[in-house]
Amino acid sequence: MQQRIETPQRKFKGFETNKTLQRNRAAAMAACKRASATTATPTETKPNPPQTQETTTQTDPPIAPPKKGLIFNLCLFFSIPYFYLLFQRYTIEQDLKRSILINAALSVVGFFLTQRMIPVASRYVLKRSLFGFDINKKGTPQGTVKVPESLGIVVGIVFLVLAILFQYFNFTADSNWLVEYNAALASICFMILLGFVDDVLDVPWRVKLLLPSIAALPLLMAYAGHTTIIIPKPLVSYVGQEVLDLGWVYKLYMGLLAVFCTNSINIHAGLNGLEVGQTVVIASAILIHNIMQIGASSDPEYKHAHAFSIYLVQPLLATSLALLSYNWYPSSVFVGDTYTYFAGMTMAVVGILGHYSETLLIFFLPQVLNFLLSLPQLSGYVKCPRHRLPRFNPGTGLLTGTRDGTLVNFYLRIVGPKSEKSLCIHLLFVQALGCCFCFMLRYFLAGWYK
């Protein structure tokens, strides 16, 4: 039996060079950094170095089961308006509807696959010491539990498999869309890789900021769509034309949008369920927006742009819901930067290729606000600690806002101390209100703005 146990050392036996040792040390250091980051260590215990399979199963109990009731309610809440719009409200071509439904069916499979794979992957990441401590439970027994990190890797992999398989059901080999679709997938895949690198190596903040611009390169280089923008009607008299060709500036804008979407999801974080929750809310709003645009338009190209977005956002939503079932309060897994970057990049890509980046930015309203509040610390003008989370009081179980410039702290300073769960629900509600505001704005400005 003993011989079968595969320790990291055994695995690389014969290549036991400096590189192997460095790799093991890097994994252990990344975990240590997380565990000790800004007094995050609930006890003085340091995370153990990578352990054998036998000892890991002995010391780390399996993660808590998924919160299925929550996900069921969320699915019901979203599916009713969504399928009403798809089947009843608008007359959508059969072909398009068929593709959307095949994609939805694949996404459901992806949901169950992700839910099954997360506990398995959790064991593996724990074995490699990739875990974090729940900072907002510091001082309670829950704060001493090793929570597996970077489970976004499961979501990312399942998403990519679904998105690749879906091409078989929808696109023909000579389809023009295929080039951009695969370029989009390459960018998302690159982002997952860089996010995982960040989780393992814990790269410095300034480098983190740059990663999405590297990952966006495949899309920027392959993009052959138009580089024009339609000038809002009230501004036409000032600009002198209705359509403006931005040329390379448009590509720069695409790159900046990718950097913003990824990082803005990553820094509006630190509460159980917030990273995935905000993605679920925004993705739902994007899907409803896409169906409304398809239903209201008669331009085939415009419809395809929005259908393209649906094909990527449905799998994103389904796999994210599976992750949320484990990440919701109290979190049994953390999503890692792998997930936040992946989700941000996917939404940026669909906003760019679907040509609705302005609408997307309004869906991102809380993230924009959080970014503005964060600017003094991000720019280095004010000191930026490793974690900018609220202060947790183990006696009352409540969080209090600190002076760090984040929306979470700002909100707490306005409404007073709150429990982590109710704060997260409040913030997701604010996110949903922002999306409703966007729909209203589009409704009232239709015809007048563009």
Q: Are 345 and 339 in contact (CB under 8 A)?
A: no
Binding mask of the shown chain, residues 29 to 48, with x at each position contacting ligand UD1 by CB under 6 A: -----x-----x--------
Amino acid at 237: S
| 266 interacts with Mg ion by CB under 5 A | yes
Binding mask of the shown chain, residues 145 to 184, with x at each position contacting ligand UD1 by CB under 6 A: ----x-----------------------------------
Which of these segments, 6-14, 72-80, 162-170, 261-269, binds ligand UD1 (CB under 6 A)? 261-269
Least distance to ligand UD1 from the beta carbon of 87, Å? Answer: 37
Closest to ligand UD1 by CB, 145 or 271: 271
Output the CA angle 431-155-21, nearest 5 degrees: 120
| 338 interacts with Mg ion by CB under 5 A | no
Closest to ligand UD1 by CB, 257 or 407: 407
Burial of 240 (0-12, 13-18, 19+ CB in 10 A): exposed
Least distance to ligand UD1 from the beta carbon of 36, Å? Answer: 10
| 11, 222, 364 from 262: Cα distances, Å | 35, 20, 11
| 192 interacts with ligand UD1 by CB under 6 A | no
Which of these segments, 17-25, 39-47, 295-303, 334-342, binds Mg ion (CB under 5 A)? 334-342
Which of these segments, 75-83, 112-120, 332-340, 410-418, binds Mg ion (CB under 5 A)? 332-340
How far, in Å, CA of 380 to CA of 96, rounded?
Answer: 49
How far, in Å, CA of 114 to CA of 321, rounded?
Answer: 9
Range 207-210, long-range pairs (CB < 8 A, 24+ positions): 208/263, 208/266, 208/337, 209/259, 209/263, 210/259
Closest to ligand UD1 by CB, 360 or 389: 389
396 DSSP assignment: T
Show contacts with ligand UD1 in window 356-415 (CB under 6 A): 374, 387-389
Closest to ligand UD1 by CB, 387 or 450: 387
Residue with the CB atom nearest ligand UD1 in the bound state: 132
Closest to ligand UD1 by CB, 44 or 299: 44
Residues in the chain: 450
Which of these segments, 67-75, 132-140, 235-243, 336-344, binds Mg ion (CB under 5 A)? 336-344
**Which residues are CB-contacts of 163 (< 8 A; sequence separation ≥ 6)?**
185, 188, 311, 312, 315
Closest to ligand UD1 by CB, 325 or 359: 325
Identify whether 330 is preceded by a cis peptide bond (ω within 30 of 0): yes
| 134 interacts with Mg ion by CB under 5 A | no
| 267 interacts with ligand UD1 by CB under 6 A | yes
Dihedral, CA of residue 30, residue 33, residue 35 and residue 39, to nearest 10: -170
Dihedral, CA of residue 46, residue 48, residue 50 and residue 55, to nearest 10: -160
Pick from 82, 166, 334, 392: which binds ligand UD1 (CB under 6 A)? 334
139 DSSP assignment: T
Closest to ligand UD1 by CB, 125 or 312: 125
| 198 interacts with Mg ion by CB under 5 A | no
Q: Which residue has the tokens 């429990």?
A: 419
| 135 interacts with ligand UD1 by CB under 6 A | yes
Residues near Mg ion (CB under 5 A) are 266, 337
